[in-house]
Amino acid sequence: MPYSYSKFKKEVHQSIVDNISPLSHVLDVGAGSGCYGEMLFGHFKKMDALEIFPNYVEMFQLKTKYNEVIIGDITKFDFSLYDLIIMGDVLEHLSAEDAQNIIFQIQKNKQAVLVAVPYLYEQGAEFGNQHETHLQPDLTPAVMAKRYPELKLLYGDENYGYYVNSIFCSSCHQQP
């Protein structure tokens, strides 16, 4: 779905603003409807979107929400020039292997990451977009901890979790 879970958005916004320098270059991967662009545009030196489905660019007016909108696939994109990578509702659309490789590369690059995922959520193509299919519909807090040990829960409930790495913030309030 090109839309994002609305719960905890104020807290997530505050965590980003409190922990990421305004001089940062930010990449919103899988921008979808552009909720992170709406939330954060203008706060950072540069905020770009990487969107795999070209129809969303016009459908959601993404060019008004980001400095640059790039059509591309995160598994083939060089994201090394960004300080913060936002992967809101993206990880579940990737194979576990591809997602683990991306998280590993982010860690290796010493970049901050925010990952948001739904738990136990099956989904197929939507809006004619095959990339909306969930390849990891089995995600739960326990699966996240095992599959992505470098990510820690920042906020979440029984339906959804927001995760960050230690580079994002070492002093954030993290839920147990």
pLDDT in tens, 8-48: 889 999 999 999 999 999 999 999 999 999 999 999 999 99
Q: What is the pLDDT of residue 176?
A: 42
Q: Rounded to two decimals, what is the model's pTM? A: 0.90
Contacts of 12 (CB under 8 A, 6+ apart): 114, 116, 154, 155, 162
- CB environment 23-42: b (16+ within 10 A), e (fewer): ebbbbbbbbbbbbbbebbbe
The per-residue pLDDT for range 122-174, each reduced to its tens digit, is: 677 777 777 776 668 899 999 999 999 999 999 999 999 999 999 997 556 55
Residue 75 contacts residue 95 (beta carbons within 8 Å)? no
CA gap 88, 37 in Å, rounded: 11
More confident residue, 5 or 17: 17
Q: Shortest CA distance to 168 belongs to which of 98, 47, 82?
A: 82
Three-class DSSP category at 64: helix
Indicate if the pLDDT at residue 77 is higher than 80: yes
C-alpha distances out from residue 21 to 26, 70, 83, 112, 154, Å: 10, 23, 9, 11, 18
Indicate if the pLDDT at residue 98 is higher than 70: yes
Q: Taking residues 101-128, what's their average pLDDT?
A: 89
Residue 16 contacts residue 40 (beta carbons within 8 Å)? yes
What residue type is assigned to position 40 of the chain?
A: L
Residue 126 contacts residue 1 (beta carbons within 8 Å)? yes
Q: What is the pLDDT of residue 29?
A: 97
